[in-house]
A = this chain, B = another copy of it.
């Protein structure tokens, strides 16, 4: 297969063995890459070394694809795929594109009539939704909510209203160091009968999925450290 952009999954917990958590069809795909778009050089090298030795890894070209990548870089990246035929996209954890950059590059690959292919893998957002016990037939993902407290509280209230009006599960994320703050604000401002789920450290041995009403959450007096989390309400 030539001129292909492969969207590739990563582990959710980088210390896990790839064999246990990613499908075996991934290894031959990674070994076929002429280049890899990744959030950082270090992350890209770590990823490649999970599937090949150092000597082979050093032959794979690495280009950065993150929030600093500009549109003119993307055009150049498409040119790279034209010249060197099989490129991958990987993010630091889970599925690329989902809550991460990469969509524009993928659209350019479609426009340039390249093959766009994928190997499936874990998505923390989907795992959180499946395990929440909330409606999985209608849902909405908001990415990051506003940072400033006043706007964040308003966003939480808007989302809560939407969940009830549309009977649709609402999902969002936050930087790990703000997990406790997000829980505190949610317990403070959401209604007692609203169902709230926090899915922490998914797939790791410290995984915790807590799903109950705001009233029950308040009794729990739950405290966490700076752990990656997905938040859901219904």
A: which residues have CB within 8 A of B? 7, 12, 19-25, 95-100, 102-104, 106-111, 116-118, 120-123, 126-127, 129-143, 168, 195, 203, 207, 209, 211-212
Contact = CB atoms under 8 A, between A and B. Distances in A.
- The listed residue with most B CB atoms (<10 A of its CB), out of A100, A123, A209, is A123
A99 B21 contact: no
Nearest to A121: B120
B23 A130 contact: no
A70 B108 CA distance: 47
A21 B96 CA distance: 17
Nearest to A216: B111
A122 to B, nearest CB: 4
Contacts of A212: 110-111
Contacts of A22: 23
A129 B23 contact: no
Given A120-B127, A120-B203, A203-B120, A136 B23 contact: no
A30 B117 CA distance: 29
Contacts of A207: 117
Nearest to A26: B20
A137 B104 CA distance: 12
A22 B103 CA distance: 25
A123 B109 CA distance: 22
Contact of A120 (B107, B123, B209): B123
Given A7-B131, A131-B117, A136 B203 contact: no
Contact of A103 (B99, B123, B135): B135
